[in-house]
Structure 1
């Protein structure tokens, strides 16, 4: 297909914007920190920390009441470049390749090939040498997620501070009011889920007289498959080849079965045609505007989405589903860590220690309470029963951005509760999803490692995604896709990677 000069120009401009950083956020101060060694060494003086962090909302006002109090309590001066979450992976890779690292950068995936290479090339401090036995950092030891430090190691060394997050996090959401409008039951299996979505796509659940309903949207693009669904096909259970190697999720038989399931969804008109190229921002807007029936994202967002949809569809009701697949529950658990905070190796030892002290100071239940609710009388008030009620200032100033520049003390409920929702609503959500921790699965490839895979996979990743998408949309047969995956699994170098994954898995769990 011929691409017009105008389109090529547009693509070129997007690339330029990404390179310059204009596309992905703004910084309080783009100049190099003016701190002297004496300033860093003096604990009474505010510590300047330059960071690159993800943004899941509007860019915050770093001079508002919350951020002013935050920096006063921590004796810091934060210079944060906020990067929209949908663009973060691109920005992260660009920063790594340029070598222009800030003091602290969030690494979304400790197993990222580009990050692993940067670590091996000495881009980041090995902070384990400072943490030692954690005797000087009891908060980082006691209030981190159960497996946070275990999953954050590279070659048995600690290069990043785990960002603690609950295991229960992701949930499949659906428009309950649309089910009711069409007299459809709440689905309990992946098969039933597909059936009700097809009915909603074809039967005008919002009654606007238009054929404009989208069935399912997924928040991360690519092949369009959220690992929540793959869990239902066994893709998060360890699988082994004939040599005893541990087959990676991307080549797992359960992943292939999930692709087949999404092929069926697409053939029935449930997926948007452009699903593979949609950003997180686009998919969220599609659901929040009342165009889509189902969306997979953090459980706590159900209330927020429902309130947004009610602006145009007052009877909207969003619920979280508990679905079962042919190989088990379609419930994905997080490993308790959502990326790591990495410290540039260009920092002095003194500054590394002060940043670690800052992480230690903030990694407490008390500071978590401040992060979540803010200041009494400013960001929340207490009702007659002593429950915290968020004020309008709190709703404006305290979003997910406040969680980003620190490890955040571990809780089991944070990703299920929306502090802006009524207590009765949050209590119901917690009751309905508490069992997820018992039935759900963690993707082991979020923490096991293989040097061979790290070097090998980048050469195949784009082709792998492309072929999965081709299979889903019907441009490649299922048989061809199975042969393609089987061919990769049987390559000598992949078999070596599988052996290394097995060794890593056993080492982590001391088998």
Structure 2
């Protein structure tokens, strides 16, 4: 009897196991027919899901180096816990302050100690292109193919985004999609009001207004303690928005038909002359070249500086910060007309790229690409931008999201960093903490930027000769720009220097390559 009892039990268990296997296979086939997407359909690298919808596969561990725009986040807070649960990931992120990121990026490239994923701020940076040529990063185009398995990365991308990261038919990074309308020049309207000055509408009026602000005590302290314009991105202190007003973002050609790079563009030379005038009039801080990117924001946000260029949406945030010590502060976005057109710079739709180390296995590359595919949706964008209802925001009577204290702490710019972000044209102008009427006004006032602004073509063009040659000149060029702005070099001397660099054979060759690339890109 005992032997028969054991045999029956074995038969029952075998029957149950067989039924479970058949049920699982049928379910898998049904899912595949309905979705056909790696973000929704298990592939050979994916596991099953339980009744709650959570993946039973081992979480994907990804090491990353990403920029930080606020305090270092708690990766165990509500947002990051839920994000990693939904994506079945464990994110090991080294956060680097955004103002120091370029330096960190170059150090990591030179060390060769790459994480699984690293953000590259500029897809045309010569150091990055050399690293690609030396085999540091994975060519992911071979996995993306025709994007039939990655419809979200295809359909929710910025216009031309994948062309911007294409290098002779090869793709070495997942572009981070960003609105074309992004940067905006901000100025303290309350200081202008205190001096009886109108909001400037031209670059010339802007210079006059800054000179008045730094010499006429707009804050009423009895001292000349106000600062004029603080730059955003280090180096020469010249933001491309100003250069747009002098035509430096328009194509310019040498006598041989070569396309002159932005750094050597006649319009850039005129922009240097303009900044030289700002400096002579005290509108730039004396030590501007040594002020870090992080410090420039601190100077404006703490109420010490009159103007600053950064994302349009930050105007409300800056105003609120300044009002903590100066309740009458008012920050407005200004559009200035230059000699060659509006001083409005548009982004290419791509803000750098997420690069995958060449040391990764094929399986891990595919899983990381699946992670990018899965998160590049409107649903994930909503989570990234607003957080989770009931935890980070509530809905008011009209259905508008109202951020709460948890959302203010946990949902900042840093949560946007570890994924491409599905494309839309508004979110760099929209502050989720600002009143609805304020956001509507800003969006209406800046919508025409897409028609009048210019994209720097060298944000997406590259030339092999330039990559090999420019690093030898870059430090000298930057030094000459600064020397000219502060008056240690005359404009005639600077123009002669720029002309001498333009005439070098290797530069002539690079210009020819740029012209060919530009024509091919827009064919």
Question: If the length of structure 2 is used for normalisation, what is the TM-score?
Answer: 0.89
Equivalent residue in structure 2 for 1:250, among 263, 268, 277: 263
Q: Which has the larger radius of gyration?
A: 2
1:156 Cα deviation after fit: 2.3
1:498 Cα deviation after fit: 0.2
Preserved contact between residue 245 and residue 500 of structure 1 (Cα < 8 Å):
yes
Alignment partner of 1:74 is 2:87: yes
Distance 1:502 1:152 in 2: 18
Equivalent residue in structure 1 for 2:383, among 360, 370, 375: 370
Equivalent residue in structure 2 for 1:274, among 279, 283, 287: 287
Distance 1:208 1:73 in 2: 53
Distance 1:462 1:502 in 2: 25
Equivalent residue in structure 2 for 1:103, among 106, 111, 116: 116
Equivalent residue in structure 1 for 2:275, among 255, 258, 262: 262
Equivalent residue in structure 2 for 1:53, among 66, 75, 96: 66
Q: 1:372 aligns to what SS in structure 2?
A: helix
Alignment partner of 1:118 is 2:131: yes
Distance 1:227 1:277 in 2: 19
Equivalent residue in structure 2 for 1:216, among 208, 229, 254: 229
Tell me which residue corresponds to 2:450: 437
Displacement over 3 Å in runs of 4+: 39-43
Equivalent residue in structure 2 for 1:473, among 486, 502, 517: 486
Tell me which residue corresponds to 2:214: 201
Distance 1:310 1:478 in 2: 41
Once the two structures are superposed, residues 374-428 of structure 1 have per-residue CA deviations (whole angstroms, 9 ceiling, x without a partner) of 1000000001100000011000000001000000000101111111111111111
Preserved contact between residue 168 and residue 412 of structure 1 (Cα < 8 Å):
yes
Distance 1:288 1:117 in 2: 37
Tell me which residue corresponds to 1:185: 198
Tell me which residue corresponds to 1:417: 430
Matched ranges for 1:298-337 at <5 A: 298-337=311-350
Once the two structures are superposed, residues 114-172 of structure 1 have per-residue CA deviations (whole angstroms, 9 ceiling, x without a partner) of 11111111111110111111000000000010111011112221110000000001111
CA RMSD of aligned residues (A): 1.0
Tell me which residue corresponds to 2:243: 230
Tell me which residue corresponds to 2:358: 345
1:40 Cα deviation after fit: 6.6
Distance 1:222 1:280 in 2: 9
Tell me which residue corresponds to 1:291: 304
Preserved contact between residue 105 and residue 341 of structure 1 (Cα < 8 Å):
yes
Once the two structures are superposed, residues 221-251 of structure 1 have per-residue CA deviations (whole angstroms, 9 ceiling, x without a partner) of 2111000000000000000000000000000
Equivalent residue in structure 1 for 2:96, among 80, 83, 88: 83
Preserved contact between residue 41 and residue 351 of structure 1 (Cα < 8 Å):
no
Tell me which residue corresponds to 2:441: 428
Tell me which residue corresponds to 1:11: none
Question: Which 5+ residue runs of structure 2 have no aligned equivalent?
Answer: 1-43, 49-56
Once the two structures are superposed, residues 185-224 of structure 1 have per-residue CA deviations (whole angstroms, 9 ceiling, x without a partner) of 0110000000111111111111111111111011112111
Tell me which residue corresponds to 1:13: none
Tell me which residue corresponds to 1:19: none
Question: Which 5+ residue runs of structure 1 have no aligned equivalent?
Answer: 1-38
Question: If the length of structure 1 is used for normalisation, what is the TM-score?
Answer: 0.91
Distance 1:437 1:156 in 2: 29
Alignment partner of 1:138 is 2:151: yes
Distance 1:506 1:200 in 2: 45
Equivalent residue in structure 1 for 2:406, among 384, 390, 393: 393
1:112 Cα deviation after fit: 0.9
Q: 1:236 aligns to what SS in structure 2?
A: coil
Q: 2:306 aligns to what SS in structure 1?
A: strand
Distance 1:255 1:40 in 2: 51
Matched pairs, number: 472
Distance 1:500 1:71 in 2: 44
Q: 1:504 aligns to what SS in structure 2?
A: helix
Distance 1:40 1:87 in 2: 37
Tell me which residue corresponds to 2:29: none
1:266 Cα deviation after fit: 0.4
Tell me which residue corresponds to 1:9: none
Distance 1:255 1:85 in 2: 25
Once the two structures are superposed, residues 252-301 of structure 1 have per-residue CA deviations (whole angstroms, 9 ceiling, x without a partner) of 00000000000000000000011112111111111111111111111111
